[in-house]
Amino acid sequence: MKTPWIVAASFSLALLLALGKAASAEGPREDKPVDSMAADSRISAALQQVSAERIRVNIEKLVSFGTRSTISAQDPAAIASGRGIGAARDWIRSEFERYSKDCSGCLEVKTDSFTEPPADRIPQATEITNVYAVLRGTDAENAKRVVLVTGHYDSRNSEILDTKGDAPGANDDASGAAVSLECARVLSKMKFPATIIFLTVAGEEQGLNGSRHFAKLAGEQMVKEKKAKEQGWMLEAVLNNDIVGGDKSAEQDHSVVRVFSEGLPAAATEKEIERIRGLGGENDSTSRQLARYIADVGRAYQDVVGVKPMLVFRLDRYLRGGDHYSFNQQGFAAVRFTEFREDFHHQHQNVRTESGVEYGDLAKFVDFDYVARVARLNAATLAELASAPAPPVNVHLLTKSLENDSTLTWEVAPGSLASAYEIIWRGTTSPEWEHVQRVGNVQRATMKLSKDNVIFAVRAVDAQGHRSLPVVPLPER
Ligand SMILES: [Zn+2]
């Protein structure tokens, strides 16, 4: 029976041609809950190098500058005396330079200085300096992709305008600066296709001045990249560590670290808000995808990391803010890590004892092992993202007709290292991704699921199993 076979074959061929590079979700489907990504042994080995002892030395060194108030002295005499923000800034730079020397100059150590005009918390024009180190990606195209870790190195005491009194800031936020430094020391011994930036900013307590300046720079780079295809960089993720000292109060839970992420994006346009209002999406900002990614990293590396990310679906705590918001305002995915329970006697306080209560942000209240665990979680996230292929671009969900199947389309990012793509989804009431289906190295997939009932996303995967951040599709008519 030759003819029917030929007919069948031609039909299949025609169907294949019609589908193009498309995957069909018909036939046996391997629905399974989205389980933890597999730990990369190379990354696990690096995490073991994170040292609580180095973190202790760095936090105590930062405390030793007496005050790191952004408006404290930074003239040569103050720097020579080892007191004030200028001395702290120079020490951080020298520390990054030392790590770079240890990896044959693999880090580009840089400063971003600017003059902030007088404002409420800045009595006179003040030079503010962010200090950072760049571990350039090894792949020309992927090196434009950047993941970033930050903490603020400035501090304050009870009086926001006090430039002289002690402001040790061991937890807030020498702990976060120490996370950036330790991630730089450990990850600079590795190579990644994408770029990692280890940042420490100043001006946080005066009004997020340092991070705002840096995020704007990143925003300009992003626009440049999009418009002109010039040499620029794309910031994919920002990890802000602020108060990750694990204060040793009785009610502290040292097994978890909170991860705050915004819901409605600060940078959303009216049109985007309208879409979110109509179709849901208030729980799917890029920052929230980053938070879910961190939860996944936490599961994959839990044995080495030793602290569990606890996702909090809000921008920040009541009455408080932080540097991640500066990046959110520029449209970047950015989250905040903070210890489970803060002791407010130990933050923004003059060092003193009153009625038997010790006030002040002293190093003795910091749990250095806890900071090391948080640093490992950060390092694992940075390493996974910098190893992963770029997320797919122009991800769409076709909505031109009423149907119960759901077709997704996407494009390959320039220089993509993806070997396959995965469709992930969850119920609209579920906090984390629940199901995954690998669809191969294609740019289109039809799922036998109604888009009305679930939330979809697409992510890229490489041959070693590193996953990109997922991208939630935009509706396309
Ligand atoms: Zn802080």
Write the pLDDT tens digit of every residue in 92-106.
Answer: 999 999 999 999 999
Rounded CA gap, 340 and 249, in Å?
A: 11
Q: What is the DSSP letter of 156?
A: -
> What's the 101 CA to ligand 1 centre distance in angstroms?
30
> What's the 291 CA to ligand 1 centre distance in angstroms?
20
Q: Would you place residue 362 in the very low, low, confident or very high pLDDT band (cuts 50, 70, 90)? A: very high
> What's the 263 CA to ligand 1 centre distance in angstroms?
21
> What's the 402 CA to ligand 1 centre distance in angstroms?
50
> What's the 94 CA to ligand 1 centre distance in angstroms?
23
Q: What is the pLDDT of residues 286-333, one digit of tens each?
A: 999 999 999 999 999 999 999 999 999 999 999 999 999 999 999 999
> What's the 153 CA to ligand 1 centre distance in angstroms?
9
Q: What's the confidence (pLDDT) of residue 322?
A: 97
pLDDT above 70: residue 411: yes
Q: Are strands 444-447 and 474-476 parallel, antiparallel or unpaired?
A: unpaired
Q: What is the DSSP letter of 402?
A: -
Contacts of 1 (CB under 8 A, 6+ apart): none
User: Sheet of 195-201: strands edge to edge?
Assistant: 107-116, 126-135, 195-201, 145-152, 234-241, 334-339, 256-260, 308-312
Rounded CA gap, 114 and 120, in Å?
A: 18
Q: Do 392 and 414 meet the contact criterion of CB atoms below 8 Å apart?
A: no
> What's the 283 CA to ligand 1 centre distance in angstroms?
26
> What's the 292 CA to ligand 1 centre distance in angstroms?
23
> What's the 424 CA to ligand 1 centre distance in angstroms?
35
> What's the 175 CA to ligand 1 centre distance in angstroms?
10
Q: Which long-range contacts (CB under 8 A, 24 or more apart) does 81-88 make?
A: 84/163, 85/153, 85/154, 85/202, 88/62, 88/153
pLDDT above 60: residue 466: yes
pLDDT above 80: residue 221: no
Q: Would you place residue 226 in the very low, low, confident or very high pLDDT band (cuts 50, 70, 90)? A: low
Q: Do 429 and 439 meet the contact criterion of CB atoms below 8 Å apart?
A: no
Helix (H, G, I), strand (E, B) or coil at 157: coil
Measured in whole angstroms, the distance separating CA 206 from the mean position of its chain's CA atoms is 23
pLDDT above 80: residue 15: no
> What's the 174 CA to ligand 1 centre distance in angstroms?
9
Rounded CA gap, 116 and 213, in Å?
A: 10
Q: What's the confidence (pLDDT) of residue 67?
A: 98
Q: What's the confidence (pLDDT) of residue 21?
A: 38
Rounded CA gap, 94 and 92, in Å?
A: 5
For residues 366-372, give the mean pLDDT. Answer: 98
> What's the 16 CA to ligand 1 centre distance in angstroms?
56
> What's the 156 CA to ligand 1 centre distance in angstroms?
9
What does the angle CA 38 – CA 43 – CA 44 come to, to the nearest 5 degrees?
A: 75
Contacts of 10 (CB under 8 A, 6+ apart): none
pLDDT above 70: residue 60: yes
User: DSSP H helical segments within 229-285, as ranges?
Assistant: 270-279
Rounded CA gap, 173 and 204, in Å?
A: 10
Measured in whole angstroms, the distance separating CA 412 from the mean position of its chain's CA atoms is 23
> What's the 204 CA to ligand 1 centre distance in angstroms?
7
Q: What's the confidence (pLDDT) of residue 4?
A: 39
> What's the 116 CA to ligand 1 centre distance in angstroms?
19
For residues 460-469, give the mean pLDDT. Answer: 96
Q: How many C-beta atoms surround the C-beta of residue 13 within 10 A?
A: 10
Q: Both tokens of residue 149?
A: 């870790």
- Cα-flanking dihedrals φ and ψ of residue 453, to 5°? -105, -15
Q: What's the confidence (pLDDT) of residue 3?
A: 38
pLDDT above 80: residue 230: no
pLDDT above 60: residue 35: no
> What's the 335 CA to ligand 1 centre distance in angstroms?
14
pLDDT above 50: residue 14: no
Q: What is the DSSP letter of 310?
A: E
> What's the 196 CA to ligand 1 centre distance in angstroms?
22
pLDDT above 60: residue 388: yes
Q: Do 427 and 5 meet the contact criterion of CB atoms below 8 Å apart?
A: no
pLDDT above 90: residue 451: yes
> What's the 152 CA to ligand 1 centre distance in angstroms?
7
User: DSSP H helical segments within 118-200, as ranges?
Assistant: 175-187
Q: Would you place residue 54 in the very low, low, confident or very high pLDDT band (cuts 50, 70, 90)? A: very high
Q: Do 54 and 151 meet the contact criterion of CB atoms below 8 Å apart?
A: no
Which one is predicted more confidently, 197 or 22? 197
User: DSSP H helical segments within 330-452, as ranges?
Assistant: 368-387
Q: Would you place residue 365 in the very low, low, confident or very high pLDDT band (cuts 50, 70, 90)? A: very high
CB-facing half-sphere around the CA of 93: CA atoms within 13 A: 14
> What's the 366 CA to ligand 1 centre distance in angstroms?
14
Q: What is the pTM of this model?
A: 0.92
Q: What is the DSSP letter of 360?
A: S
For residues 185-205, give the mean pLDDT. Answer: 98
Q: Do 446 and 458 meet the contact criterion of CB atoms below 8 Å apart?
A: no
Rounded CA gap, 249 and 241, in Å?
A: 20
Q: Both tokens of residue 190?
A: 């590795």
Q: What's the confidence (pLDDT) of residue 477?
A: 87
In the block, tokens 């602290």 appear at 307
pLDDT above 50: residue 27: no
> What's the 48 CA to ligand 1 centre distance in angstroms?
27
Rounded CA gap, 357 and 40, in Å?
A: 46
> What's the 270 CA to ligand 1 centre distance in angstroms?
31
Rounded CA gap, 309 and 229, in Å?
A: 37
Q: What is the DSSP letter of 392?
A: P
User: Sheet of 420-427: strands edge to edge?
Assistant: 435-440, 420-427, 454-461
Q: Both tokens of residue 307?
A: 């602290």
> What's the 323 CA to ligand 1 centre distance in angstroms?
8
Q: What's the confidence (pLDDT) of residue 20?
A: 37
Measured in whole angstroms, the distance separating CA 224 from the mean position of its chain's CA atoms is 22
